[in-house]
Copies of this chain bind each other. A is one copy, B any other.
Amino acid sequence: MKPNFSLRLRVFNLNYWGIPYLSKHRAERLTRLGDFLNMESFDLALLQEVWSEYDFQYLKQKLSPTYPAAHYFRSGIIGSGLCVFSKHPIQELTQHVYTLNGYPYMIHHGDWFCGKAVGLLVLHLNGLVVNAYVTHLHAEYSRQRDIYLAHRVAQAWELAHFIQCVSLGLQGKWDGGPGATRNVGTPLKQGKNGEGRMPSSPSHTSKKADVVLLCGDLNMHPKDLGCRLLKEWTGLCDAYLEAQDFQGAEDGCTMVPGNCYVSQQDLELFPCGIRIDYVLYKAVSGLCISCKTFKTTTGHDPNHGGPLSDHEALMATLCVRHSPPQQDPSPTSGPGEKSPLTGVLREAWSELGQGMAQARWWATFASYVIGLGLLLLALLCALAAREGAKEVAILLWTPNVGLVLGAGVVYLFHIQEAKGLCRAQAELQHVLGQAKEAQEPDQEREAAPLQGLREGEGLKEQ
């Protein structure tokens, strides 16, 4: 990497609302989207809700001169709806499908069938490794009674954890968590907690990402638990909040009342609109990343035609520059830096616990229904043997078998749901345990049974 350089990255994000037969003016919007993307020639265009692979293939063909690299992330029964178009070659691709994603019997909501996921593409730009993530979390169908809250929080945690594992790397034992400072990869000896405990790593080790970019429809408002968890844990910055020049809908809203496709029911509680689509970013220590411009559409397409979707499109220009590590601002380096993260981790832990209790309640309920159904089946068998009630018994057999089988599926599903929530909770518990340990005074730590790493029998230092 040359000491004086800059990388300008123009990014486009849109939840395209491409449900075959249901989304209005789909074909016409697709054509206009393709024309716009070709005209603007972004570095990266990341789309959600491209449910039909034919739509992706159409765009891929149309955009191929401007965006030679494209990928459609397949998952679940319908698909993840995620796809990317890149002006630059894609070096690596992967995806992570969320463990929890709604309920199969909520067919009218349909999220379960989609296999919601996060897709990752790795680009090499000017000698930098750019990890770009695109995601779409479970929808919020009712804000007052959100039965999917625990699932969305678990998804946000999985997303944050996945980004951290793949792109951000370890920060030492506990120095306020990965999001405590805005720069990843700060040498561990600089950590406020766990100071000097971990020697710095050999410089020739395989590196993680230099720049992390996350775009997508998070289906969460900026202050929602999952959104805070994601930002606090990863330390990603919100392009709307950081932009030097913003143009677009009021408060950066991405679903606005002026958009003719937006259901007014969705905005009942928020008549001015909601912000649920994001461009988030981060760079390693030694690099300075800033958002030069951030634009959203405002209920119609950028060329003043009809809207491209029921969501607004986001367009960000990011600028990455070299910045020596010692000159980095350390806005969150005080000892209190742990508190917001620890707080939000605890809140998430508790929310997952509630979800788990609910899942177990449903599993128990389903097991009672199975028991009752089996009892009824036995009763129907007995009735069928008697001459008078034979017909009625046979008639009732079908719904009863259906009941038992259905309850069985519900039981298994909620057992799986509880396991998934329990897993996320255990991961949060682990992180909180480390936080607690790091907060203990050094003397206590030295006496703690888990310590003595360097003196361990299996470790020999010559």
- Residues of chain B contacted by A124 (CB below 8 angstroms): 170, 173, 198, 453
- Complex contacts, A378 vs chain B, CB 8 Å: none
Chain B residue at minimum C-beta to C-beta distance from A284: B205
A185 with B165: CB separation less than 8 A: no
Q: Which residue of B lies closest to A422 (CB)?
A: B74
Query: Which of A13-21, A259-267, A270-278, A393-401 contacts the other chain?
Result: A393-401
Q: Which one, B75, B168, B198, B458, contacts A87 given CB within 8 A? A: B458
Chain B nearest CB from A348 CB (Å) reads 16
* Residue ID in chain B nearest A41 by CB atoms: B457
Name the contact of A122 in the complex, choosing from B10, B69, B95, B170 (C-beta under 8 A): B170
A388 at interface (Cβ–Cβ under 8 A)?
Answer: no
Whether A96 lies near B96 (C-beta < 8 A) is yes
**Are the C-beta atoms of B170 and A129 separated by less than 8 Å?**
yes
Q: Which chain A residues in 165-180 approach chain B with CB under 8 Å?
A: 165-171, 173
Give 1 or 0 for each of A384-398: 1 = CB within 8 Å of chain B CB: 000000010011011
- A43 CB to nearest B CB, Å: 4
Chain B residues with Cβ below 8 Å from A90 are 430
Q: Does A206 contact B (CB under 8 A)?
A: yes
Say yes or no: A199 contacts B166, CB within 8 Å: no
Complex partner residue of A450 from B68, B72, B402, B430, CB under 8 angstroms:
B68
Q: Is A284 a contact of B206 with CB atoms below 8 Å?
A: yes
- Most chain-B Cβ atoms within 10 A of its Cβ — which of A170, A187, A450, A461? A170
Chain B residue with Cβ nearest A319: B460
B residues within 8 A CB of A325?
A: 204
User: A426 — which chain B residues lie within 8 A by C-beta?
Assistant: 71-72, 74, 93
Establish whether residues B75 and A423, one from each chain, have CB atoms under 8 Å apart when the complex forms.
yes
By the criterion CB–CB under 8 Å, are A8 and B206 in contact?
Answer: no
Q: Is the CB of A284 within 8 A of B415?
A: no
A7 at the interface (CB under 8 A from B): yes
A293 on the B face (CB < 8 A): no
Nearest CB of chain B from residue A157's CB, rounded to whole Å: 11
Query: Does A456 make an interface contact (CB < 8 A)?
Result: yes
B459 touching A423 by the CB < 8 A rule? no
The 15 sampled A-B contact pairs (Cβ below 8 Å) are A2-B199, A6-B462, A7-B459, A43-B456, A68-B450, A87-B456, A87-B457, A91-B434, A125-B456, A129-B170, A165-B165, A170-B206, A204-B284, A206-B207, A401-B402
Complex A-B, nearest 4 residue pairs according to Cβ-Cβ distance, in ascending order:
A169-B206, A203-B203, A185-B206, A205-B207
